[in-house]
Amino acid sequence: MKTQIKRIRNIALYVIAVFLLCVFCFSEFITAKAEETTALKFDRTYVLDDLESCENFDILRYPINPFAEPKVQVIEIVEYCYSYDASKRDKYGLYLYVYNPTLLDIDATSGQNKVQIAVRYNTHTITNNSRPTLYEKFDIKFCSKVENGAYKGLFYKFKVIDHKSDDGKTIAERVNSNSRRYDISGIELLTVGNSNSTEYPLSKTYSFSGYSKGMGADEELDKVTLESEVLETVSLDVKNTYYRTGHSNKGKNHQNQLDSVYFAVDNDLLDKYGKLQEIRAEWFEYKTQPIIVTDVEEFYSKAINYIGQVVHPINAEQHSEIGYHLIMNRVKGSSSDSRVIYDWAWNFRNSGSMSQVDDAKALYYLFYNSDISYDPLADKVKNGGIESNRLYEYIRNYDKSFSSGRLPVKDGNISADLFLTTVDENRTRGYNVHDINAADIEITKMLSYTSTQPSFWKKSEDFGFWKALFNNLPDNLDETIVDLPPIAAVKDSDIVNGDNFATSKNLYINSADVPNFVEYYNDAKSNDKTTFLFRFAVTDYFSNPVEIGRLNTGGFWNDNSTSWENGAYYAQETVFFDFDIIQLTFGDNGALTAIPVVSSPIDIFDDVTVPLEPDDNGFDWDKLWKILVFAIAVIVAIVCAIVFFPHIITFVIWFIKTIGKLLFALLKGLWLIISAPFRGIAALVRKRKDKQ
C-alpha cells in the first residue's frame, strides 16, 4: 500500500513539474514573440503597401525599363519611430525602398549588400550647414520585395543595420534630434551569378524633423517632415595592376609586389577643390597557401586527386598510389650520410632528414602548365605562369575542404584552407580600412620589410659568387621601390609610345597591362579627366623551383629510391577581396573637402609568375665560359706586363722575395719565442747529466 501511495505521489510531482515548465516556457515564448513583434513590426510590412501609403507615390511613374540608368534606384527612405529619448528607440530603423526598373535578379539576402553613409562632420552638432568629412559602409537587411504579379521584382525594401563607428556612436546616437541628417552616397547590391556587388548612386542628403506619435515630447503629436537635396559624389571606374621588382631583401626568389589601382577624376572637380590629397579605401587581405605549378602531367594527374586531403608519409598504400613527392631547396648529404636537408616538402619521408619549416600536410593549390620556361626576357605568365583570372576562378570554385572554416567574404563561400593564418609583417589579415595621405606617407612606409639594393655579398649568398662577379643575375635585381608617392597623377611624359617596358618602369605597373592603361589614360584625357595611380600595398611575392621526386622500387625510406626532376615551382602571394574606394579628399590651401565615391568593389589577384631563375642541376656552361674568359684575360694581362713593363715585373719579383724574407724572419722569431721554454728545460737536463 505504501509503495502504491509513493508511486502516485511521484507521478503527481512529475505532472506538476511538467506543467510548471510548460507554463514557464510558454510565457517566455509569448514574451519573446511580443518583443520580436514590437521590434520587427515595420520590418515585416509589405514593400508595396508601404509605398502606396506614401502621399506622393504613383506607381505609374515606375515602369519596367530594360534601358534605365542607373539600373537600380532608391526612391524612398523612411525613418521609423525615432525618439530623442534613447529608452524609446527600440523600434527605430532606417529603411530604403529600391526601384529595380531593369528587373535585375538581385540576391537580396546577400551579406555583400551595403549602403554608404556619412559618420563624421566638421561640426560637433550636426546641422544643415555641416559638411561630411568621413563615410562608412553599413550592412542592409532584406525585408520584402514584390514576389508576383505585374510588378514582380520591381520593388525591394531594406533596413540599414546600425552599428557603432570609431567615434563610439551609432547613427541614432549621432544625429541631431531636432533635424536628423543622413548623407547617403550609394547602395551596393549583389546580382545573382556575380561575385561582386555593384554600387548604384543615391547621392542624397535627407533631413527628418518632427516625431511619430509617442516619440516626441508631445506624445500626441504625429508629424514627420522630410527634406532632401542632392549630395555631391564622384563616380569612379577603378582598374587594378601590379608590379614586381627583381629582388627583395628577404632573399633569393623573393620579390617586392606593388599593388595599385587607377581611376580618372574630372578636372572640374580638381579645379574646384584642389589636388587629390587623401584616399580612404577598404579591403580584405589574405596570403595564399603554397601554390604548386607543374608541367609534369603524370604527377599532376596523380596529385590532383589529393587536393585538400591530409597526406601521411607513413601510409605506404597512399604513397604507392600517389607515386610522387615534392621537395624545395634539397641538399643531399655525403655518400656516407643519406640525410636530406630541405626547406619545404610534400609527401616526403627520408630517415634523419631535416627541414627548416614544417612539411606540408596537404596541397591546396595545384595547376598544370604544359611548359614552364625560365627565360628572364620571356613573358612570365605565358611561359609557365598562371593568369590571375585562372587563380581567382580556382579559389571561387574550390570545394575540397573547409577544415579552417570560411573567410568573411563572398557570403562565406571561400574556404579559409586556401590561405595562411598570417600575412606579411606589419600588415593586417582580414578587414582593412585606411586613409592614405599623399603628403604624409611614402611608399617605403608601406613595405613590410626593408627594400634596398642588395650588396655584392648578398648577391653572392643568393646566386653564387661567380654569378655575382660576372653580373649573371636576374633582371631588375638592383631595382627598389623608393621615393614613390602612394597617390600620383599620371602625365604624358610617363608614357613612352610603343615601348610597354619603358612605360611599365616609369609608372611601376605590369608591362602586360600597359596597352589597356594607355587606352584608359587617353580616353580620360579626351574627356577632360586626370588619371591617378593609387599604390596601396607592398607585399612579398615568393616563387621558387621545386623538384618532383618519382618513387622507384624500395619505398620512401631511402632517398636513393627516388629519381628527381625539375618541372614544378612553389609560389605565394597576397590577394585582396572587395577592394573599394570610399571617399576622396581634396586639398586647396589648407581647406580639405571629402567627396564620397560611388565605385563597385573589385577583387585583386595578381598573376602567378615563374621563379626569377631555376636551380642549376646541370653543368653550367655559361659559368665555365665566363671563368675561361676571366682566366684568359688574367694571363694576357700578365704577359703584357712581362713584355711591356719589365721594371714592374722586376719590382714585383723583388717585392715578393722581400715579403718572403720578412715572413721567414717573422716565423723564425715566433719559433724562437715558442720554443724558448723547451730549450731552457733541455739545457737544465743537460747540465744535470754533466754533473753526474
Long-range contacts, 63-71 (Cβ 8 Å, 24+): 63/101, 64/101, 64/102, 64/103, 64/154, 65/101, 65/102, 66/101, 66/102, 66/103, 67/102, 68/101, 68/102, 70/200, 70/201, 71/100, 71/101, 71/102, 71/104, 71/198, 71/200
Q: What's the Cα-to-Cα distance from 517 to each of 85, 204, 266, 382, 492, rounded to whole Å?
A: 54, 33, 17, 20, 12
- For the segment 528-547, the average pLDDT, to the nearest whole number, is 94
| pLDDT tens, residue by residue, 623-645 | 556 667 777 877 877 777 666 66
Gyration radius (Cα) of the chain, Å: 37
Choose the weakest-confidence range: 5-19, 54-68, 314-328: 5-19
Question: For residues 265 and 599, what is the distance between their CA atoms, to the nearest angstrom?
Answer: 12
Looking at per-residue pLDDT, the higher value among 242 and 455 belongs to 242
Instruction: For 559, list phi and psi in degrees, rounded to 5.
Output: -60, -25
Question: For residues 582 and 560, what is the distance between their CA atoms, to the nearest angstrom?
Answer: 59
Q: What's the Cα-to-Cα distance from 595 to each of 119, 276, 278, rounded to whole Å?
A: 13, 11, 11
Instruction: For 356, list phi and psi in degrees, rounded to 5.
Output: -75, -25
Question: For residues 117 and 179, what is the distance between their CA atoms, to the nearest angstrom?
Answer: 16
Q: Is 322 exposed, middle or buried (0-12, 13-18, 19+ CB in 10 A)?
A: middle
Question: For residues 442 and 486, what is the distance between their CA atoms, to the nearest angstrom?
Answer: 6
Residue 7 binned pLDDT confidence (cut-offs 50, 70, 90):
low
Angle at 531 between CA 528 and CA 534, to 5 degrees: 155
Residue 232: HSE in the Cβ half-sphere, 13 Å Cα cutoff: 12
Of 62, 48, 43, 73, the residue nearest 198 (C-alpha): 73
| Identity of residue 17 | A
Instruction: For 102, list phi and psi in degrees, rounded to 5.
Output: -90, 0
| pLDDT tens, residue by residue, 152-203 | 999 999 999 999 999 999 999 999 999 999 999 999 999 999 999 999 999 9
Residue 124 binned pLDDT confidence (cut-offs 50, 70, 90):
confident
The residues, any chain, with a CB within 8 Å of residue 128's CB and separated by 6 or more, are 179, 181, 207
| pLDDT tens, residue by residue, 553-611 | 544 444 444 566 778 999 999 999 999 999 999 999 889 999 999 999 999 999 999 98
Percent of the chain scoring above 90 in pLDDT: 57
| pLDDT tens, residue by residue, 288-308 | 999 999 999 999 999 999 999
pLDDT, residue 585, reads: 97
